[in-house]
Structure formats: structure tokens, C-alpha cells
Amino acid sequence: MCGILGIINIENKQPIVPELLRVMSATMAHRGPDGAGIWLQPDGQCGLAHRRLSIVDLSVAGHQPMGTPDNRVWITFNGEIYNFPVLRKQMEAKGVRFRSNSDTEVILHLYREHGARFYEHLDGDFSIGLWDCDCQCLILTRDRAGVKPLYYAHVDGRFIFASEIKALLKYPGINRQIDPQSFYHYLTFLVVPPPQTLIQNIFKLEAASTLTLVPAAGYLPKIEKYWLPLPMVERGRSFESFDEELASLFSASVQKRLMADVPVGLLFSGGVDSTLNLCSFGKLITPNRVKTFTVGMDNAGNFHDDSAIAREMSNRLGSEHHEVRISHTDLLQAAEKLAFLQDEPISDPVAIPLYFVTKFAKECGVTVLQAGEGADELFCGYSNYRRFIGHYNRLWRPLSHLPRWVSALAADSLSISGSAKHRKIRDVLERRARGQQLFMSSAVAYYELEKQSILAPALRAQMAEFDSFDVVAPYYAKLAALSPDASFLQKMTFIELQLRLPELLLMRADKMSMANSVEVRVPFLDRDIMDFAMRVPDAYKLRDGISKEPIKRLTAQYVARDDIYRPKTGFGVPIQQWFRGELGDALLDMLESNKTAGEMFDRQAIHHRLKHGLRTVNEAFQLWVVYNFLVWQRGITEI
């Protein structure tokens, strides 16, 4: 995994200077501490840069940007291509000669063989910038799960792209203004939905998408979604045959992700996903012991700390276990740095332990870590999903047979200042009255009326006509057109795999791990497993009424059933306790001293929530969204 960067002249014909590429790529040194490179087209109309984290082919032969032998095609690439050895053998059989052992060189030859749709042959996690000198064309592409990030902007007559927003902000004169509508949606989804970012005119390429710039189109970006998580259920197969296929696919996925010329370890919580990861990993690297890493919380109050479970399971399974502990003091000392490293606010507090545990792993000599992201989204693992299914059956379906005004009347009877449960029910009723769908995301911080109550008066008036359901409405429309018979669970999965998973969960993993020059790999998001999850019926994912039952059943082949079928605890942070102490004081200080705080938030409303609204974890979670934004905003002014 690395950092990539490019500048393409469009209207501006002044030659690109090497120093600009160096300055911009230097902001991503943490993504690539093992090397830095730049390439300029002889006429200065295109420039590429790269920061290298050496994982496969550690030699100078793997240096980037990399060109074809005739120097007509150039690439800057971030990620890993797990099927590159197979592709390479196929090419060698056709007479292609290679100068390195890297997957990067394979991509270049794929482009030469297959043209602009070369990415269809890649099995891996990637963001790629490829420039063809002959046609003066640029291709940007991002892997189907969205493991690797990619941002772009059109500024000063140039098209620029990079792995991180920080690199783009180093372009002289680029607009740094916050986009109000993006901020409004951030308050709901904890992250800005693609293609927007919090900064006006800086965009992010969606997962499973390709952007092309060609002279014939006037260098206007053409964006294509090349894969969608559409349900393609296979009928007539037994669950036992699905079980056998899943076991084979997961073993193959873990095997692929052991590909590295550096040490590989495992993020370990002792839960189902990480336990299956460890057991599969351990079988493949015997007799060596797998290095596992976990994080524990001090000053956690009544918060459930999974580190003891991780410790016990690792002892039983024989891994070489490492544990780091953090407290609210660690958070406060690193808060501004963490927000800065997020690039744009990714307001899931789990980013905090991810930063510290990947830092610890790097200090222990491990550069690659496997993680469990994606299993819950693919196989209905969250209790929230079960609750949404219950709400749909018990509340939404009956309401669908009644006039909308009934829902509106019922919503008006519920106070916005009531309990969190009442606020959610009111939101459901309000959206039913407007003809919207039940599900927006499994992680929502502020519903519409809640957002209005915390916004500064001027911004509240400006946002009065906006609704964050508009973000997911196109997803529903697309699915209705392509799969009109999709079930409620299939609709939830379709939305989660395009919004929350790539832009929140995978970005927190990418940004926090790469801050420490560590790559995180996600076996559950293997291309073949994602396709498998689209092919199995809902009843298979919820066999016997149990969430994520296929993964639990597979894991139970290795460990005791009681260890696997216990209630899910999740991986979190005790922010409710922390906001009652120094973290709350820090938020109060920023509310008073930060000019932006007064422009975006109703200070009095946030102050009241802090003093009187910490009754539940959800209320603390909402305050974290505010805190993380303010710390981030303060940090970007220094770039």
C-alpha cells in the first residue's frame, strides 16, 4: 500500500514543475516511508508521483511511478493485486518479459493487452492512476469494495488526484471552504457521502468506479460504476453446499492475503470474525505462530472491554499475542493528529483504537495486518440489521397500507426532545409520510429534526430544504430498476456496500493504519466472497434465526460453539465516560474559542447536550461527531 498523486494539464498549459509534485506527495510520507518517486512527461503536461510502502518485491525494480519499456504508458498504484502471479504466468506464456517481480508491472501489461477495462481482470485492493502518453488519456480506478481511497479536483486549469486530501490541499490556491450541504450529510452518516467531500470542489471516487479523462470529451471526467452488489440468488442449492463453498473461498482469500515479503499479523478481538481469521491464518503458516494484536481501554467505567476475551482466545489458539492499552489521556494528546490523519472527519470512535493498535504493531515489526471488516455487512451480522428487519415487518409494512397523513399525524404526536427510541420512531414516521424508505444506514448520528436543533440559525435556514435521505434515494432507484424483487435485507446490503462500508469503515482502517505505515487487508471482502454473498438467499444468512450464521458455523469447526454463539459485543470506545471528564472540557473549549463552531453549530444546544445529554452511548456518539469535526477543521488550516 502506498500514496499516489498526479497532475494533468487541461486548460493550463504551463509545464508542471517537479517541486510541486514533491511538495504535494511529501504530505503522504507516512503512506510510503520506503521510497519516493516522480515522473514528468517530457513536455511537462502530465506529472505522476508515488510514496512507496514496500510489501511485494522490496527491490528498486518495484519503484514507482513505473512505465512500460517504451515509456508510453505510466502508472502510480496503491494496493495489492492478489492474482498477479497467475496473470504474470499467462503473459509470460505469450512472450511478455518482465523486469521486476511486482504486481505493478503486471497492471501495465494488462492495459497493453486489454485496454481501458484492464481493471476487470484484477483481483485485489487498489486505487490506480494510469496515463497513456499516446492518447493523452488518464484512467483512475478504485477496487470494488473501496479498500483504497482516491480523491480528485479540477483547479487552476489542471486535474489533480491523490490518495489523500492533504496532498491536494498543498496545491497553491486551492479552495479550502467547507461545503455546507456536505457538512449537513456528514452529521447523519458520520462521513460525507461520495462523490462529495467536506471541502468544496474536492471529490472522491466511489468504490467499484472508474474515471476517465480523454481529449475527445474535452477532458470532462467520465465516471462509470463497473460493479454493483446486486442480489443474484441461486435457487435449488442446499445450505450444506453453500457451507462447503464458503469454507473453500475463505481459505483461499486468507491464502491470497499472506502474499508479502514483510511480516503479516492479525487484528484480534476474540470475536467470530477475527477468530475465523486466526484459525484459517494459523493453518496456512504452520509451524510459525500468528502474531495477534488487540487494544484495551483504561478509564472505561461500565464500558465492555474485549481485550480479556482476546487474551483468553489467543492463549487457547496459540497465537503470539500483543496488547496495548489506551486511555482518554492518550486520546486527548493525539486528538488533533488523529483528526488530521483522517483527511476528512470519519466520526467512528473506533478510529482511535485502530490508530494505537496499528502503531503498536508497527513497533513490533509487523507491516501488514489482516482484519474482519465486511463480514457483518455481507452476512447480516449486526443486531441493528435484525432490528431494522423487525421494524420493517412490524411497523413499516402496516403503515404502507395506510394513507401517509396517518404517519404524519403519528409523528407529530412524538416530541423531538423525547427518548432516543421516540426520536427514531418519529423519524420513521416522518419518512413514511414523505414516501421515503425505512433504511438509510445502520449507523446514523443525527436524524433530520435532531440536526436542525444543533445547527447555527443561519445554517439551519440554509439547510431547511435539504434531506439526507436524498443521498440514498438514487441507490434505491437503481436497485428498483435492476432488481425490483429485492428483499429488505438485500436493499440494506446494497446501500451499506456503497456508503457505510467503503466510506466509513474501510476509510477508518486505511487512514489510521497508513498513518503508521501499516497495510490492513480484509479477507471477507475478497472479490469471490462478495459475489458469493450476493448469490446466497437471506434464509442462509439468517439460518435458524441467527445473525451471520454461515460465518459462525464455519468458525465453530475450529473452536467451541459457546465461544462463537455468544452475544456480539463489537469493537468500541468508552466515549460516554470520557465526555464526562477531560474530553467534555476539551469540547467546551473548542465551542467557545473556534470561530467555525459558532458558524456551524448552536453553541448553547451543544453545551446543553454535553451537560445534560449523556444518558446513553448514542448521545455521547452524537457529541463525538461534533468534536471530531471541530478538531479536524482546526487541523486543516495548518496544511
Q: Flag whether 162 is in a domain.
A: yes
CATH number of the structural domain spanning residue 129: 3.60.20.10
- Please give the C-alpha separations between residue 440 and each of 388, 422, 428, 444, 465, in angstroms, as whole numbers: 10, 17, 10, 8, 18
Place of cell 513536455: 43
What single letter denotes the amino acid at residue 221? P
d(C-alpha 184, C-alpha 452), whole Å: 9
488: nearest Cα among 562, 393, 419, 582:
393
Q: Flag whether 512 is in a domain.
A: no
Convert the pLDDT of each residue in 189-204 to its tens digit.
999 999 999 999 999 9
d(C-alpha 178, C-alpha 151), whole Å: 16
Q: Flag whether 35 is in a domain.
A: yes
Q: Flag whether 373 is in a domain.
A: no
Q: Flag whether 143 is in a domain.
A: yes
d(C-alpha 85, C-alpha 63), whole Å: 18
Q: Flag whether 11 is in a domain.
A: yes
d(C-alpha 20, C-alpha 370), whole Å: 35
Q: Flag whether 555 is in a domain.
A: no
Convert the pLDDT of each residue in 299-337 to its tens digit.
766 566 788 899 999 999 999 999 999 988 888 888 888
Task: Please provide the size of the chain in residues.
Answer: 639
Q: What is the pTM of this model?
A: 0.95
Q: Flag whether 387 is in a domain.
A: no
Assess contact for 64 and 77: CB atoms under 8 A: yes
Convert the pLDDT of each residue in 384-440 to its tens digit.
899 889 888 887 887 776 677 666 777 666 665 556 666 677 777 888 888 889 899
Average pLDDT over residues 622-637: 90
Average pLDDT over residues 172-196: 95
Please count the structural domains in the chain: 1
Q: Is the pLDDT of residue 345 over 60?
A: yes
What single letter denotes the amino acid at residue 593? S
Q: Which domain holds residue 27?
A: 3-225
Convert the pLDDT of each residue in 236-253 to its tens digit.
999 999 999 999 999 999
What single letter denotes the amino acid at residue 127? S
Q: Is the pLDDT of residue 59 over 60?
A: yes
